[in-house]
Structure 1
């Protein structure tokens, strides 16, 4: 006994209760010893190794392992049934276990007594089979977790087969997810060609498949060519799983339509011809065939995301930018794409068939500045710029927009720096440009938008830089223009965008935003911008209007560049900030592009 306590007793000798304390009453103290269970297992394992109180021996091959029945019964429903029911093993001291090796049995018993086991590629499958047989569910899932770490595009289809044999749902889910996300790599593997028709159909019809439709088509063709005699008859069923609406027309009509497999199927050629008629009609009202209607209205796959992309423009009022950036919604950051091959002043930017087009502009170099007819394209899939078919005429400070499979280029300044009223149209089905009816009035910097088979052009300015109070309308199928004066229109260098039969005109040397209701032919006032803004850009994503950059007039009537990034919600008629661009920018492109999920370099 410590001396201090003895001294305390002597000092308080005679006290009735020297250690009596006044404590607040408590209902209960739930004491938990977190080390007790592991300590108990440790002691039981020591007893096992010394064969103290062991009452059964588990035998495999030539090895006998002493155990405690009560430990086995407590650890597994299998052994509980063996030793707690009227089976002959209940009376035996030695139990011979078949279909299991001595090493795996030893590993299982070590796991029972210690909760630990070393899993590696050489033992994971027999260990998993033994865990399933003897009903050690957590060990079974531990083996599954080990295999999930080993998953790769090269082995995920094999892992799916294995998961089906082992009836392991967790492994099957992860392996299927890997196959879906890495379909670009999986689709070229030999194992994919070994899939059954229902298995392949399951992948191709899944909304979550990470693949562009061109790749879906190439995959089904490769699968058929792997065993053409028995699989050729499946072409029409598989072809229905390709979402033709989202395939680039050039690829569809020049490559797919001429494929021998497709030409051998009457149904496939009829489907392609129906798509061709739909595209030429510039309207969807001619869908009579139920097959093509189902294919035409099919949604994009979930893995195809709409992304906001900023490209070109004037950066920090210093020089024409070659940068292209994509906005990552999850991280709220801008990621870098490949840079434009050259600097282009007052080019235009259009998205068509998930491809970004940079059209015309003025080349800026130390030697000379001149208008160009060049067209550059960028796909988010490859992140590479390519030269496309050039326009018929060089121009800059023009307007461009896309509608169905067309790109329209309107007005601008020609090589002689004069305002032009000419209009060109790019037909992506035939990869060629053609001249269209010119605008009634040649204007610069109007707001343009396309909907309901028409192009609407609002305002702009004339050669004397005076605002033009006009609405010019182009009927696409008739190749005809009309115009009407409107005193509400007074915008210059303002973007326009379409949401639900309304064309929103955002700013343009003014704070005002108005919406033109196409059905009622009237303008509606919307929530104003914070400043008088011009030379900014706008696009639509998920029925919301996004606006970036531009120039604005500050409180001292001075023009400044902007890095703003804002969103307008039509339902609430309100603006919210989305942060900032990485730098100040105006006269740039701001578009919505669709691509399969992937990552790019951070800005």
Structure 2
């Protein structure tokens, strides 16, 4: 743009410099006024010294100093092939360079050596667009050679995000010990801990004699508390290589005590260094809704996922069967759906079946069936176990029995029966004890009891209390307390197991029952259900509310995709995989 000044007009010809370059390139191609030939082996390219000296500090030093090249008619450039030299000279005279997968590496080398930073940056940008799990480790090596920090960061991000695929590449075996430790210890690594362990063992066994000295330091990067216990038991605990290292043996024994002993507590001083390592940042909490009755119609097979980071609902693989009043829990980053009444088959009967859902693969599979068919029961998980409690059996009787699933041995076993069989109690586990709050008896009368099961002793006891009068209410563990959420009432009760005392929290907006509740990020989320209106009529709900214990307040999170009640509401912590999560 031209600029006016008090004494005249400043004219700017923006096409002049590009026209000048084109003219100079034409002179070069016609060998007019050229005064030096740049050579790569036997290949010669006639050029103008002043153009080259103006294009880079490398040629300026060569032609404007007292080097012998400043006056020689031919200059040999070592390390360049003829095709790359031709591309570099073309770039100098036109400002253009054609970058492909075949030409990018020699162009980078030439741009780095001859000091063309913008060309080097262009090559870096091209490589960033070509990054994949199969090449990212090699690109990191390249970025370090050429000091391309942006390229290095992008390549490392790919390596961390797609670590299971990267771990299968040959490049992983060539990492230095410190480099591998840096990856395995990174909070942002997107991989289950089983994959982390497998990667380090593949690396060590690739050169066992040289690398076994690093096994202790690398094994410490595996966060054993997030390994599936069955994997730990079968593939880690008795590994000969780990057993040959006394420090690794110590880590293994500590992990065994923490994983497999029902008597151990997380407060043991010698367990804190191992067991208090946080999960990787790549783990994310998702809210999952399963089944239930949708829009007051028949029981649905829908499975919905809520992503708190985006605020969006997504549909997942449908339940394998249409089940009425099944129960569900999460364990080891999977969802377990237990029992229920199979509907729509003509002859509806309670089911003992167990279905297991993997968010990673968005698939359901059949698990080990329960010992007894049941529906309207309650389930909860503790350590490596799932407890299935009460419900209605095949004879339509209220059941007082309880069974326990061992996820390591993949078996169900009968446990002590509860003192009083009840339906629809609120259930939670805290400090080695399983608590059943309230519920209703066979005559559908509310039961004012807390029934407590001591997990390691396999014994029950009960406590009467006037504070309890909940039916069809969930319970959650929120911090150090158990919170009972509604149940034909707006009331929220916080129970302290240590003092055996209740504290009343802020009420919900409606008298609610048959709803779902779960905890994410130390906040309570309540979904759907049925609520009693002021004239005592019953309405289905699509509400989605959040309770913050810090402020003792409720806020609306919007609406569910549809009205829903008698559904399971769970928090599933796992590593999202871009290729498998819808």
Q: TM-score, normalised by structure 1?
A: 0.87
Partner of 1:108: 88
- Kindly indicate whether residue 468 of structure 2 is the aligned counterpart of residue 485 of structure 1: no
CA contact (8 A) 1:550 1:586 kept: yes
Distance 1:28 1:507 in 2: 80
From 485, 488, 502, the counterpart of 1:506:
485
Q: Name stretches of at least 5 consecutive residues in structure 1 with no aligned partner.
A: 1-25
Q: How many residues matched?
A: 574
Partner of 1:306: 285
- Kindly indicate whether residue 421 of structure 2 is the aligned counterpart of residue 442 of structure 1: yes
CA contact (8 A) 2:360 2:576 kept: no
CA contact (8 A) 1:54 1:68 kept: no
Partner of 2:218: 238
Could you report, residue by residue, the CA deviation over 1:504-554 in whole angstroms, capped at 9, with x for unpaired residues?
221111122222233443322222222211111111111011111111223
Distance 2:167 2:539 in 1: 51
CA contact (8 A) 1:363 1:372 kept: yes
Once the 2 structures are TM-superposed, how far is the Cα of residue 83 of structure 1 from its aligned partner?
A: 4.6
Partner of 2:175: 195
From 35, 39, 48, the counterpart of 1:67:
48
- Kindly indicate whether residue 153 of structure 2 is the aligned counterpart of residue 176 of structure 1: no
Partner of 1:421: 400
Distance 2:123 2:461 in 1: 72
From 360, 374, 390, the counterpart of 1:381:
360
CA contact (8 A) 2:359 2:581 kept: no
- Kindly indicate whether residue 517 of structure 2 is the aligned counterpart of residue 532 of structure 1: no
From 155, 161, 166, the counterpart of 2:141:
161
Q: Name stretches of at least 5 consecutive residues in structure 2 with no aligned partner.
A: none
From 447, 450, 465, the counterpart of 2:444:
465
Once the 2 structures are TM-superposed, how far is the Cα of residue 286 of structure 1 from its aligned partner?
A: 6.8
Distance 1:463 1:522 in 2: 28
CA contact (8 A) 1:335 1:600 kept: no
- Superposed, 1:44-59 pairs within 5 Å as 44-50=21-27, 56-59=35-38
Q: TM-score, normalised by structure 2?
A: 0.90
From 326, 335, 346, the counterpart of 1:347:
326
Once the 2 structures are TM-superposed, how far is the Cα of residue 270 of structure 1 from its aligned partner?
A: 4.2
Q: Please identify, of 258-267 and 374-383, the stretch whose mean Cα deviation from structure 2 is larger.
A: 258-267
- Superposed, 1:201-240 pairs within 5 Å as 201-240=181-220
Distance 1:28 1:192 in 2: 67
Distance 1:46 1:601 in 2: 55
SS at match of 1:335: strand
From 19, 29, 33, the counterpart of 1:42:
19
Once the 2 structures are TM-superposed, how far is the Cα of residue 91 of structure 1 from its aligned partner?
A: 5.4
Greater C-alpha Rg:
1
In structure 2, relative to structure 1, the CA distance for the partners of 1:38 and 1:433 (3 Å cut) is: farther
Once the 2 structures are TM-superposed, how far is the Cα of residue 66 of structure 1 from its aligned partner?
A: 3.0
Distance 1:379 1:489 in 2: 36
Distance 1:178 1:161 in 2: 14
From 548, 557, 560, the counterpart of 1:578:
557
- Kindly indicate whether residue 102 of structure 2 is the aligned counterpart of residue 125 of structure 1: no
In structure 2, relative to structure 1, the CA distance for the partners of 1:425 and 1:163 (3 Å cut) is: same
CA contact (8 A) 1:60 1:101 kept: no
